[in-house]
Structure formats: C-alpha cells, structure tokens
C-alpha cells in the first residue's frame, strides 16, 4: 500500500533530531523504550502523525540491534517495504506489545537531522495525545476528556486510518490540508497560488534524495479557514494534491489529537 510510505509527508523538507545532532523546533519528541529478542534500548524519538507506521533507521537497527536484511519482513505494495517486529515499545507510560516498524535508510538521506526512531500511526491511532508546543513534547490523555479549546473534526479515510485530513478554504477556495507533526514547514497544495511568493533557498530531503539545498517559493501570511476558525501562517509551495500543516500552524499552547473521536483540539 502506498500509505506504508506516508511518513515521507512528514520527513520531506522537514528534518529531524537528536542522534541526532540537530533538534528541530517544529517537531514533537518523546522518550521511548524498545525491546526485541532480549535486548532493550531507550532513546528520544520523533512523533509523527503523518507516518502510517513506526520507523527505525536501518543503520541504528544494525548497530544497536544486530538486525540484518535477513531479518526483514517484506510488506506493502509489491512487497517492496521492509519491517521488523518489536517485542515491545514503551511510549508515554504504556507498553505496546508486538509493534511493526518500517526499516529504511533515514540517516543516509537526512544526515544530521535523522531520527533513529519515529513513533507512527500504528501506535497513535490507539488513543489521544496532548502535544505541548512550548516543550516539543507529548503525553497521553483521556479519550473521554471534556474539550477546553477549539475543536476541529477531521475526515476518516480507510486507506490511511491515521491521516488527519482537514477541509479548509484558502482565498475562499476549498482545499485539503494534512495535519502532520512530522512536517517542519507548512506547504500549499501542488500548483495552488495565493499572494505573492518569494523565491528562497531551503533544506530538503526525501526517501529518494539526500539532504540538499533547493530553490523554493514561500508565501507569507497566508490566511486560511477551517470550520469557523481563521488562521494565518507562512506556506511553501507543495508537491501533493493536498497541503501540509505542522504542529505549530494553528496557534495555541497545546494541541490534543483524539483518534477515537477524530478531533483536533486547539488549547489557548
């Protein structure tokens, strides 16, 4: 399935952490503990709502866990993606048994930014999470909590059950935006023009291309509306038929993502 690689949405043009020598101030992190075949390790992971599965860097898998290609489990469309099965993942105070993790060369493409591990949708869809924007951190919260902030409902998709797709209007035109804590920047839908874009240079990487500096167009102060709420943020030109919103694009001090209720709550 193409959604096995939806984590590319999160990492493309973003770049990551902590092995991580460079910290990204628009990414969310969490301490996690991993267990497999009697081995254990604790590290800081990136938390990515745009990623369908947890992801482990292939170099980290080999060096810390002794995992070779012979241990990989093939999956996804045409069996071209590779996974390993963890005995357990401890995240936000809870242990999750039998966790599938995609294996890919994160460090080779994203260099100093590369996270060794990403917590993805196969864990996140099981609960509700409060993202503390001041501290780039996350904690579990009660799925039955009474909202205290502005609530946005998102659209459910059977093709990618973890995807948080939001209906919006930009310049009065209907568009789709993917809320993605793995995205460093906000991106417009491909070919969508608004305002007067600036020509800038920025860092970019994806699963096929190593980190590099590229030309891009940046439109500042883009106004967009979701439901009855108005927002303003800077947007780069995009590569997909939907746009991207990062964790810091909606304002507030924190966000609560509730997968059971399919709501995104903005806490003032």
Shared-domain flag, residues 109 and 19: yes
The CA-based angle 57-59-60, given to 5 degrees, is 65
Among residues 109, 141, 173, the one where a domain terminates is 141
Shared-domain flag, residues 48 and 121: yes
CB 158 within 8 A of CB 165: no
CATH number at residue 124: 2.40.70.10
- Model confidence at 205, in pLDDT bands (50, 70, 90)? low
Please measure the distance between the N-terminal and C-terminal CA atoms of the chain and give it in whole angstroms.
38
Shared-domain flag, residues 169 and 38: no
Q: In which domain, by residue range, is 82 found?
A: 2-141
Shared-domain flag, residues 157 and 225: yes
CB 184 within 8 A of CB 27: yes
Among residues 118, 141, 164, the one where a domain terminates is 141
The CA-based angle 56-62-65, given to 5 degrees, is 80
Among residues 120, 141, 162, the one where a domain terminates is 141
Shared-domain flag, residues 33 and 157: no
pLDDT for residue 152: 96
How many domains are there within the chain? 2
Quick: pLDDT tens for 61-76: 999 999 999 999 988 7
pTM (2 d.p.): 0.89
- Model confidence at 78, in pLDDT bands (50, 70, 90)? low
Quick: pLDDT tens for 126-180: 999 999 999 999 999 999 999 999 999 998 776 677 899 999 999 899 999 999 9
pLDDT for residue 213: 78
Shared-domain flag, residues 115 and 242: no
Tell me how far apart the alpha carbons of residues 116 and 113 are, in angstroms, rounded to a whole number. 10
User: Closest by alpha carbon to 243, among 9, 35, 41?
Assistant: 9
Question: What tokens appear for 137 in the block?
Answer: 């951190």
Shared-domain flag, residues 259 and 186: yes
């Amino acid at each position: 399935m193409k959604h096995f690689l939806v984590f590319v949405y999160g990492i493309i043009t973003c770049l990551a952490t902590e092995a991580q020598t460079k910290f990204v101030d628009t990414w969310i992190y969490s301490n996690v503990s991993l267990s497999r075949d009697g081995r254990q390790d604790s590290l800081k992971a990136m938390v990515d709502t745009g990623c369908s599965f947890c992801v482990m860097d292939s170099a980290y898998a080999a060096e810390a866990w002794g995992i070779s290609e012979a241990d990989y489990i093939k999956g996804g469309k045409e069996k071209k993606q590779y996974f390993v099965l963890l005995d357990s993942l401890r995240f936000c105070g809870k242990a999750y048994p039998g966790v599938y993790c995609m294996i890919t060369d994160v460090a080779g493409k994203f260099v100093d930014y590369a996270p060794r591990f990403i917590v993805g949708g196969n864990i996140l869809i099981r609960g509700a999470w409060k993202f503390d924007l001041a501290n780039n951190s996350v904690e579990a919260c009660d799925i039955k909590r009474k909202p205290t902030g502005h609530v946005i409902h998102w659209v459910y998709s059977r093709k990618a059950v973890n995807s948080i797709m939001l209906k919006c209007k930009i310049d009065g035109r209907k568009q789709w935006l993917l809320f993605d804590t793995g995205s460093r920047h906000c991106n417009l839908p491909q070919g969508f023009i608004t305002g007067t874009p600036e020509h800038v240079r920025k860092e970019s990487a994806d699963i096929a291309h190593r980190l590099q500096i590229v030309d891009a167009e940046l439109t500042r102060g883009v106004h967009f509306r979701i439901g009855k709420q108005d927002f303003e943020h800077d947007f780069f030109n995009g590569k997909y038929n939907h746009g991207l919103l990062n964790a810091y694009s909606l304002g507030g001090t924190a966000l609560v993502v509730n997968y059971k209720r399919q709501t995104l709550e903005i806490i003032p």
